[in-house]
Structure 1
Amino acid sequence: MEILQNEHFSIVENGGKIYVIVTKPGYPLILLNKLINQYPRLAVTKFMALKEALENGTGEQVEIGELKPEVECMISRDYMTAKIKLNIIESQLKEHYSEYVSKVLDVLHLNNVREGILVQVLQQELIAGKEILIAKGIEPINGNNAIITYFTCSDRKPTIREDGKADYYDMNFIDEVKKGDWLGEKIPATSGKPGKTVTGELILPKKGKDKKLQYDIKTVTEIEEDGKTVLRALVDGVVEFHNGKIGVGDHLIIEGDVGVETGNIDFKGSITVKGIIKEGFSVTATKDVSIMSEIGISGIKKIESLSGDVFIKGGIFGKGSSVVKAAKNIFVKYSNEAILEAGENINIGYYSVGSTLRAKNIFTDDQKGKLIGGVIEARGKIRTAIIGNQMQRKTILHVQGFDREKLKRDLDDLLNKYREKMLQVEKLKRKLEVFESFLDQLNAVQHSQYIEVKRDFDKIMIEIFQLEDKRKSIMSMLEIKGEGEISIGKIAFPDTMLKIKNFNKRLNESTKGTFYAQNNSLHFE
């Protein structure tokens, strides 16, 4: 079939190949290229052969390329898209649009493209000479990961509320639940929705990852409800998290006062006293202790939490010998001649007068808090509004301080251990997933191996949560200015003695600001 012809040459097609026959040499290649461009189906692939034929003019038939189809179809490697190209001129397309629509459909059919054909493009948006997206596959929708929600414990941040007559030092200290109460839930992972290629092949989605609810099996149970796994309390008590597991702790509620009627209280769990502790009596709990009376307590013997916090809503008059101890934090409205010792922080709403305070950090209210007299010792930071009083009562604040560089090294070591434990727990988690996928089919030996892996997993998880607690403790120290800090929000009266690490500072005049130790010297700002 002859395609082009003039006095110099003719271009013919035979079997899908393109040939040139040059009878008269000297025709410029650039002019020939312009002519060829008017025939979109011509694809010249052998330029050197064409150039030599034009120069020599031997009259021989020389192969120079191939004849492209009117409609080309290109499918992506992932079979998610198909494109077409119409190797015609625009006038042809306009004149015979419906015919080319049919041709496109025929080509798509030959290439097995049957899904996601863009009908709008096919009917109205075909363009000559350009690649056009004509079909799109359906992407798979991957499954959602399981979503776990736990009971949110109250934030232990005391606030001072004023109603014009009385000030209340208030906080949500203990979260009580009854048997059957909601403690958490898991929305299960989903399988997702499969997709399709343009050729109709199914594409399987990735299933969402499952997650395990972590809870104390003695006090919490899981129940299937409305397509969710719901955690509910098995007993009355207080919500607590221990090593990442939610549980319900024992809770003793004293509706009235602790006194002759009750005797001294020693309880394994948390204690809430809705009244007061009378003079000479004591309360000890393994976990949290809260004294909810707003009138305060006086002359008590001892209040102690062996592993948790102590909250005294109304404050304490200690008469010099009353002791309050907490493994973690103490929250008290005021302290007058009492002994307060906390493993973490002491938080005082209004004032401490003549008391002994020992803790990691000691905080009073930023606007109203006062530290007057007594022994005030912290390992990291003391923050208060006012120190001493106008009568210049001698007040000594001592911050032992810390070695910041050592703490940083300790943190690095801890993070390395944390990473190692996480790698171990991931390996064990994968083993557990394999075991649990065939749990009903395990023989005695395999079941024993499963129990051992589960035990190792739980042990390492406990270690991880312990490391996390240590990390938080170190980070809280590193947030302190310098290597020990005393912050005075409003005023420190004269005759106040400040000691940070080995640096002593006696205030001879009223002072406001922050003192801290750094680079072997005491700084003030």
Structure 2
Amino acid sequence: MICVKNEHFVLEADRNMVFITVIQKGFSIFQLNPILLDFPQIMLENVKDLKDALTEASGERIQVGRQKPIAELDIATDKMSASVKLNCSENYLNENYSVIMGSILESLQCEGISEGILMHVLQNELSIKNQTIIAKGMEPVHAKDAVVTYFKRSDRKPAVRENGKADYYDMHFLDEVKRGDWLGERIPPSSGEMGRRITGEIALPRKGKDKKLLYDQKTVAAVEEDGKIILRALIDGVVEFREGKIAVGDHLLIDGDIGNKTGNIEFDGSVTIKGTVIDHFSVTATKDISILSELGVSNVKEINSREGDVFIKGGIFGKGVSKIYAARNIFVKHANECHLTAGGNIHIGSYSLGSFLKAKNIFTDEKKGKLIGGVIEAHGKVRAAVIGNRMERKTLINVKGFDRELLKEQLNETLLLYKSIIMKLESIKEKLEVYETPLGELTGEQNFQYEQTTNQYERLMVQIYQLDEKRKSIMDMLESKGEGEITIGQMAFPDTCLQIKSMQKKLNDLTKGTFYAENNQLHFIRVLS
């Protein structure tokens, strides 16, 4: 079939191949492009041969391309759709619409496409401008992943509040629950819905990922309710998270004071005292201790949390003998002539007067908090609104500091280990999927393997929890400016002695700003009032 014939050449199609015979020079390849716009079926492939043929005009018949079909069918790899591209002019389409449509239907049949054919598109919407979708499968509805929700413990963020008469130090410290209370839930993954490909094959939905509920089986029960797995407290107590598992901890509630009627308290769990602790008595607990009297405590012998936090709403009048210990954090309204030692941070709402404070970091209220007299020792940072007083009471602040580069290395090592354990955990999850058959249908050996795999999963979760706690601790330290920081928010009075690492500074004037250690030098950022 001759497509183009003029004084220079003959362009013809033969058995789906395209040939040119050039008989006269003087026609360039660029002049050919507008002509080919009227022949969308022609696809030039051998451009060099075409160019040579136009240049040499040898009269030889040369193959320069191929002829595309009028309707090119394109089937998606996943066989969920098919589209067609028309290689013809608008006029050709209008004059031969029924024939083209019939050809497309034949092609669909040859390809085994029998589902989702869009007949209204084939009959009315074929176009030469764009590929047209002519068949659509029914997409599967993919399953939703399991959703796990746990009881959200109150944030331990103390604040100085005003009740109209006086300031008080407040925070939501312990989350008490009763037997049967909700502690969490798991919505299982959905099953999804099957789809169908345009070839008639079933399209399977993607399975939803399952998630395990992590809980202490001695104090928390998992029960099925309304298609969910609900966690409920087995005992009265306080909500805890032990190495990533939710649990209910033993809780001793004293609805009054600690004194002659109660004697000294020593308890394996958390303790809440609604009153105060009378002079010379002590409270020791493995977990958190909360003393809620707005009068605080005075001249107590000792308050000691071996594994948790201590919260004293009304503060401490220690008279030089009271000792407060916490493995984690201490929260007090004020500390007057007492010893406070925390493995984590010390938070003081109002002031510390003539006290010995020792912790990882020491914070007072950024607007009102004062450190007056005594000795304050921290590892990373000390932040207070006011240090010292107008009577120029001697106040010693010592920040031991840290090696920032070493901490960064430890952080990187922690993150790499965390990543490797996450990868192991994913591998364990895949193994657990093998046992998705209901446990009652597993053999004895399979049940044993399932239990072993589950135990391995829980051990890895404990490691992840521990590494995350370590990461948070390192990040908290790295938030300090330099390699040790003392920040004065309002003013520090003369006769205040500051030391960061081995570098010392005695203040002779009112000072406001931040001191920090870096490159074995003490730096100061002054803040103008």
Q: What is the TM-score normalised by the length of structure 1?
A: 0.87
Q: In 2, distance between residues paired with 1:66 and 1:391?
A: 100
Q: In 1, distance between residues paired with 2:360 and 2:32?
A: 90
How far off its partner does 1:308 sit? Answer: 0.3
Give CA deviations for 1:155-183 in whole Å, capped at 9, x if unaligned: 00001111321112110000011111111
1:193 alignment partner, SS class? coil
Q: Does the CA contact (< 8 Å) of 2:18 and 2:42 recur in 1? A: no
| Structure 2 residue 509 is the aligned partner of structure 1 residue 506 | no
**Equivalent position of 1:297 in the other structure:** 297
1:192 alignment partner, SS class? coil
Quick check: 110-119 or 471-480, which moved more?
110-119
**Equivalent position of 2:488 in the other structure:** 488
2:474 alignment partner, SS class? helix
**Equivalent position of 1:404 in the other structure:** 404
How far off its partner does 1:293 sit? Answer: 1.0
**Equivalent position of 2:461 in the other structure:** 461
CA 1:363–1:39: 2 relative to 1, 3 Å: closer
Q: Within 5 A, what are the aligned runs for 1:185-200?
A: 185-200=185-200
CA 1:207–1:386: 2 relative to 1, 3 Å: same
| Structure 2 residue 468 is the aligned partner of structure 1 residue 474 | no
Q: In 2, distance between residues paired with 1:21 and 1:511?
A: 92
Q: Within 5 A, what are the aligned runs for 1:15-94?
A: 70-94=70-94
Quick check: 472-481 or 405-414, which moved more?
405-414
**Equivalent position of 1:170 in the other structure:** 170
Q: Does the CA contact (< 8 Å) of 2:20 and 2:64 recur in 1? A: no
2:238 alignment partner, SS class? strand
Q: Does the CA contact (< 8 Å) of 1:40 and 1:129 recur in 2? A: no
| Structure 2 residue 160 is the aligned partner of structure 1 residue 156 | no
Q: Does the CA contact (< 8 Å) of 1:73 and 1:111 recur in 2? A: no
Q: In 2, distance between residues paired with 1:498 and 1:91?
A: 91
CA 1:409–1:131: 2 relative to 1, 3 Å: closer
**Equivalent position of 1:386 in the other structure:** 386
CA 1:57–1:346: 2 relative to 1, 3 Å: closer
Stretches of structure 1 lacking an aligned partner (at least 5 in a row): none
**Equivalent position of 1:146 in the other structure:** 146
1:142 alignment partner, SS class? coil
Amino acid at match of 1:378: A
CA 1:448–1:137: 2 relative to 1, 3 Å: closer
Q: Does the CA contact (< 8 Å) of 1:89 and 1:129 recur in 2? A: no
Stretches of structure 2 lacking an aligned partner (at least 5 in a row): none
CA 1:103–1:290: 2 relative to 1, 3 Å: same
Quick check: 466-475 or 347-356, which moved more?
466-475
Give CA deviations for 1:332-371 in whole Å, capped at 9, x if unaligned: 0011111111111110000111111111111110111111
Amino acid at match of 2:81: T
CA 1:375–1:139: 2 relative to 1, 3 Å: same
How far off its partner does 1:18 sit? Answer: 7.5
Q: In 1, distance between residues paired with 2:300 and 2:20?
A: 117
1:331 alignment partner, SS class? strand
| Structure 2 residue 356 is the aligned partner of structure 1 residue 356 | yes
Q: In 2, distance between residues paired with 1:516 and 1:372?
A: 20
**Equivalent position of 1:395 in the other structure:** 395
Q: Within 5 A, what are the aligned runs for 1:165-314?
A: 165-314=165-314
Give CA deviations for 1:387-409 in whole Å, capped at 9, x if unaligned: 11111111111112222222223
CA 1:441–1:490: 2 relative to 1, 3 Å: same
Q: Does the CA contact (< 8 Å) of 1:318 and 1:338 recur in 2? A: yes
How far off its partner does 1:323 sit? Answer: 1.2
Amino acid at match of 1:201: E
Q: Does the CA contact (< 8 Å) of 2:16 and 2:68 recur in 1? A: no
Q: Does the CA contact (< 8 Å) of 1:358 and 1:378 recur in 2? A: yes
Q: In 2, distance between residues paired with 1:330 and 1:71?
A: 78
Q: Does the CA contact (< 8 Å) of 2:143 and 2:206 recur in 1? A: yes
Q: Give the fraction of aligned pairs with identical amino acids, expressed as a percent.
A: 54
Q: In 2, distance between residues paired with 1:270 and 1:104?
A: 77
Give CA deviations for 1:473-494 in whole Å, capped at 9, x if unaligned: 1221111112211111111111
2:397 alignment partner, SS class? strand
Q: In 2, distance between residues paired with 1:345 and 1:285?
A: 18
How far off its partner does 1:19 sit? Answer: 9.9
Q: In 1, distance between residues paired with 2:352 and 2:20?
A: 110
Q: In 2, distance between residues paired with 1:358 and 1:521?
A: 24
How far off its partner does 1:503 sit? Answer: 1.4
CA 1:403–1:13: 2 relative to 1, 3 Å: closer
2:434 alignment partner, SS class? helix
How far off its partner does 1:221 sit? Answer: 1.1
Amino acid at match of 1:181: D
1:460 alignment partner, SS class? helix
Amino acid at match of 1:238: V
1:349 alignment partner, SS class? strand
Quick check: 405-414 or 103-112, which moved more?
103-112
CA 1:281–1:10: 2 relative to 1, 3 Å: closer
Amino acid at match of 2:221: T
CA 1:422–1:84: 2 relative to 1, 3 Å: closer
Amino acid at match of 2:335: S
Quick check: 69-78 or 378-387, which moved more?
69-78
Quick check: 183-192 or 136-145, which moved more?
136-145
**Equivalent position of 2:347 in the other structure:** 347
